[in-house]
């Protein structure tokens, strides 16, 4: 009896163990080892140990790149917060069925490939795109506005792609607040503005940080958005890693950048735990 | 006792096409403990929420201290509410919870500190400053909620079934506590409940509400002894209610006939011969034995329940069960036929 139980336990754990070990852990170990090796001229790998990949990172060019990536991710996260809060507060006051419909609609874009959706923005916003043509025809503007192929384009793309990851955890947090707690705040003389900052934000801080993490981390790594909407001339960390592996063929250096990014991400998750977030909340809504 | 603090004039409330309250009038006096009592769905919480400003009125006016506040938002009204589930701010400690109202008013920090200490003392929670709501028992949370509501020194404190989530013993304790606080502070309390025991033990006046309508408003004793109608008689305390027909009127008395042509003498309230009315007798006003000829009926004992100081006898009058309270149940035997009687002055009567 006992043996049978154990067998089923291991059997049911097998798929997820396989997934984690073979598809996540082993590649990560591989990348980690790779980051201490040297590359040869033809894109191959020399099996001689070195720290130079990490030392090369301490260069003004790369530091600037890291800072810029972080700034863009930070601004995107902040804009997502500014959009998501009013939205989820509005939705949480609706009836249950309306709530479910709206939250399903939030997830509908996931059904389309995000690459294709990003191309959609190009069609809309390029110099000869729909928006510019329309504004010109109305004589609102005399020459087309550069919406894309700049920082604005990248941030727009990030916010658009990642907004649902902010809305979902934030909604589940805001929706859990007891309505009478908000009413108590008004009853005690608080304005809507003060209620938001004194009651709603503190009571949803875990959801807020959770959402921020889920926007911020991908925003550092989403190279295709920078590629498409940044016009290829503006690099983020994600693009750097991609280039090292695919064009420059300097795998060890690309690996070192990746590992640095993983470490920074770990640091952020640690902060999340420190402010009282539970790891479970990061996964499920 | 005569200054009116809260006045509701023809207040109505509709939800979509459903009427919750219609043309409701009420005057609440200074330093009064008024209870709005009624079964769930009678509109009592809606009335409270309209006074607090958390619910808009569909028609009519609400006056607070003589000033029309109908269109004043909740945060600007000098009333505070104690919510059914306490609605404490779970991310703030006791001190910050209580201080919230004063912080919103931008009172200076030193003064807030003094006031918070005063409140903690008042609700007997000294030293609880730094605890969080989830570290407190239900009764303690309740006290924090009360302190938080009282610190703004509101003109009226509204309490929405505040004791319903507490256990029986705590409920009793808090009833005494609430009454003590109300007397001490001299603040008007409007208390909403469906629990008649709470209403009877704490209130100066009780308003009984049913089916969106005011059924009776008066002192607890008046309501208990002289209910206006069948609903109030049935809802407050325990009662034996009979259908009756007026058959004879003599001076200030009326004679009515209940089942089996039994004649009962009651006090006449402008009844006419052949009027269909109800009469009601409380279980404690029934005596076993035949010492009043006109007000006695024959019944058969069905059950005797020993209850400590008072025992309950359930007797059958035809098919109808009659509840009787007796001090000494030894003399009553099961299945025995007995005669019970009641005094004319203890019989209530009403038309519907």
pLDDT digit string (tens) for A73-92?
999 999 999 999 999 999 99
H or E, element range at A105: helix A96-107
Q: CA distances (Å), A95 to each of A90, A133, A283, B338, in order?
A: 11, 41, 26, 60
Distance (Å, rounded) from C-alpha B147 to C-alpha B139? Answer: 12
Determine whether the interchain pair A181/B100 forms a contact, defined as Cβ–Cβ distance below 8 Å: no
B53 to chain A: closest CA residue: A187
Exposed (0-12), middle (13-18) or buried (19+): which is B312, by Cβ within 10 Å?
A: middle
Residues of A in contact with B52 (CB under 8 A): 187
Domains of chain B: 4-234 (3.40.50.300), 238-350 (2.40.50.100)
Q: How many CB atoms lie within 10 A of CB B282?
A: 20
The model's pLDDT over B10-48, given as tens digits with 9 standing for 90+, comes to: 888 888 888 888 888 999 999 999 999 988 878 888 999
Residues of A in contact with B105 (CB under 8 A): 189
pTM, entire model: 0.78
Distance, CA of B19 to chain centre: 23
Region for residue B343 given its phi and psi (left: phi exceeds 0; alpha: psi -120 to 50; beta: otherwise)? beta
Nearest chain B Cα distance for residue A206, angstroms:
12
Distance (Å, rounded) from C-alpha B161 to C-alpha A234? Answer: 62
Determine whether the interchain pair A190/B54 forms a contact, defined as Cβ–Cβ distance below 8 Å: no
pLDDT at A284: 41
DSSP string, A214-256: HHHHHHHH-HHHHHHHSTTTS--HHHHHHHHHHTS--HHHHHH
pLDDT at A285: 36
Residues of B in contact with A276 (CB under 8 A): none
Nearest chain B Cα distance for residue A188, angstroms:
5
B148 to chain A: closest CA residue: A188
Residues of A in contact with B190 (CB under 8 A): none
Distance (Å, rounded) from C-alpha A41 to C-alpha A36? Answer: 17
Residues of A in contact with B79 (CB under 8 A): 187
- Looking from the CA of A241 toward its CB, the CA atoms found within 13 Å total 21
Long-range contacts of A221-226, Cβ-Cβ distance < 8 Å, separation of 24 or more:
A221/A261, A222/A157, A222/A158, A222/A161, A222/A162, A224/A114, A224/A115, A224/A118, A225/A118, A225/A154, A225/A157, A225/A158, A225/A161, A226/A154
Q: Tell me which residues of chain B have a C-beta less than 8 Å from any C-beta of chain A.
A: 52-54, 73-76, 79-81, 83-85, 87-92, 100-101, 104-105, 148-149, 152
pLDDT at B21: 85
Distance (Å, rounded) from C-alpha B209 to C-alpha B207? Answer: 6
The token pair at B28 is: 């609440």
Distance (Å, rounded) from C-alpha A157 to C-alpha A149? Answer: 11
pLDDT at B293: 66
A189 to chain B: closest CA residue: B75
Distance (Å, rounded) from C-alpha A251 to C-alpha A37? Answer: 9
> Which of B87, B90, B101 has the CB atom closest to A189's CB atom?
B101
Domains of chain A: 59-232 (1.10.3720.10)
Mode of pairing for the β-strands spanning B33-37 and B188-193: parallel
**Taking chain B, what is the end-to-end CA distance rounded to the nearest angstrom?**
32
pLDDT at B292: 66
Determine whether the interchain pair B84/A185 forms a contact, defined as Cβ–Cβ distance below 8 Å: no
A186 to chain B: closest CA residue: B75
Determine whether the interchain pair B76/A191 forms a contact, defined as Cβ–Cβ distance below 8 Å: no
pLDDT at B191: 93
Q: How many Cβ pairs within 8 Å bridge chains A and B?
A: 62
In three-state secondary structure terms, A188 is: coil
Distance (Å, rounded) from C-alpha B334 to C-alpha B301? Answer: 5
> Which of B73, B91, B152 has the CB atom closest to A188's CB atom?
B152
Determine whether the interchain pair A188/B100 forms a contact, defined as Cβ–Cβ distance below 8 Å: yes
In three-state secondary structure terms, A205 is: helix
Residues of B in contact with A178 (CB under 8 A): 85, 87
Residue ranges in chain A whose pLDDT is less than 50: 1, 283-285
The 3-class SS string of B310-337 reads CEEEEEEECCEEEEEEECCHHHCCCCCE
Residue ranges in chain B whose pLDDT is less than 70: 1, 260-261, 291-294, 329-330
pLDDT at B306: 82
pLDDT at B336: 80
pLDDT at B295: 81
User: Which residue, among B35, B6, B38, B5, has the nearest Cα to B21 in the 3D structure?
Assistant: B38
Exposed (0-12), middle (13-18) or buried (19+): which is A203, by Cβ within 10 Å?
A: buried
Determine whether the interchain pair A183/B81 forms a contact, defined as Cβ–Cβ distance below 8 Å: yes
A183 to chain B: closest CA residue: B54
Distance (Å, rounded) from C-alpha B199 to C-alpha B36? Answer: 8
Determine whether the interchain pair A187/B90 forms a contact, defined as Cβ–Cβ distance below 8 Å: no
β-strand partners of A18: none
């Amino acid at each position: 009896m006992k043996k049978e139980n154990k067998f089923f336990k291991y059997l049911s754990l097998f798929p997820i163990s396989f997934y984690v070990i073979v598809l996540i852990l082993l590649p990560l170990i591989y990348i980690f080892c790779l980051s201490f090796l040297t590359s040869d001229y033809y894109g191959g790998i020399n099996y001689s140990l070195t720290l130079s990949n990490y030392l090369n990172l301490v260069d003004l060019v790369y530091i600037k790149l890291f800072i810029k990536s972080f700034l863009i991710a930070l601004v995107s996260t902040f804009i997502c917060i500014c959009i998501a809060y009013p939205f989820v507060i509005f939705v949480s006051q609706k009836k249950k069925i309306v709530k479910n419909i709206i939250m399903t609609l939030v997830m509908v874009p996931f059904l389309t490939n995000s690459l294709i959706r990003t191309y959609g923005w190009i069609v809309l916003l390029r110099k000869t795109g729909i928006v510019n043509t329309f504004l010109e025809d109305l004589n609102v503007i005399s020459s087309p506005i550069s919406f894309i192929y700049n920082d604005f384009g990248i941030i727009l793309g990030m916010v658009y792609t990642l907004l649902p990851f902010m809305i979902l955890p934030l909604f589940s947090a805001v929706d859990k607040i007891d309505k009478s707690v908000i009413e108590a705040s008004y009853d005690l003389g608080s304005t809507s503005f003060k209620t938001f900052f004194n009651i709603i934000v503190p009571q949803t801080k875990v959801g807020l940080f959770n959402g921020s993490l889920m926007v911020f981390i991908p925003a550092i790594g989403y190279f295709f958005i920078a590629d498409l909407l940044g016009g290829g001339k503006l690099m983020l960390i994600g693009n750097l890693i991609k280039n090292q592996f695919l064009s420059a063929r300097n795998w060890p250096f690309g690996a070192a950048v990746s590992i640095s990014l993983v470490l920074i991400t770990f640091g952020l998750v640690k902060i999340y735990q420190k402010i009282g977030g539970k790891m479970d909340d990061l996964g499920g809504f | 006792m005569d200054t009116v603090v809260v006045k509701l004039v023809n207040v109505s409330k509709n939800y979509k096409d459903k009427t919750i309250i219609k043309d409701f009038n009420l005057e609440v006096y200074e330093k009064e403990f008024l209870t709005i009592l009624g079964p769930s769905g009678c509109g009592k919480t809606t009335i409270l929420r309209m006074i607090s400003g958390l619910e808009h009125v569909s028609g009519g006016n609400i006056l607070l201290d003589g000033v029309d506040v109908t269109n004043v938002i909740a945060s600007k009204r000098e009333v505070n509410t104690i919510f059914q589930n306490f609605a404490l701010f779970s991310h703030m400690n006791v001190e910050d919870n209580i201080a919230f109202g004063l912080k919103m008013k931008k009172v200076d920090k030193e003064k807030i500190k003094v006031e918070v200490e005063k409140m903690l003392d008042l609700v007997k929670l000294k030293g609880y400053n730094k605890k969080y709501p989830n570290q407190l028992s239900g009764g303690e949370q309740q006290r924090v909620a009360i302190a938080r509501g009282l610190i703004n020194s509101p003109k009226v404190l509204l309490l929405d079934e505040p004791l319903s989530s507490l256990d029986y013993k705590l409920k009793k304790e808090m009833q005494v506590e609430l009454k003590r606080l109300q007397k001490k502070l001299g603040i008007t309390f409007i208390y909403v409940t469906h629990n008649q025991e709470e209403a009877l033990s704490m209130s100066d006046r009780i308003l009984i509400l049913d089916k969106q309508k005011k059924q009776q408003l008066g002192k607890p004793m008046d309501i208990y002894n002289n209910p206006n109608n069948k609903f109030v008689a049935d809802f407050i305390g325990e009662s034996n209610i009979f259908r009756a027909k007026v058959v004879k009127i003599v001076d200030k008395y009326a004679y009515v006939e209940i089942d089996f042509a039994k004649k009962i003498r009651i006090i006449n309230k402008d009844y006419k011969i052949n009027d269909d009315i109800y009469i009601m007798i409380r279980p404690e006003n029934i005596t076993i034995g035949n010492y009043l000829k006109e007000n006695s009926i024959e019944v058969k004992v069905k059950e005797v329940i020993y209850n400590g100081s008072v025992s309950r006898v359930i007797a059958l009058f035809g098919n109808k069960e009659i509840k009787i309270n007796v001090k000494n149940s030894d003399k009553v035997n099961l299945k025995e036929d007995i005669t019970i009687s009641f005094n004319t002055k203890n019989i209530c009567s009403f038309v519907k």
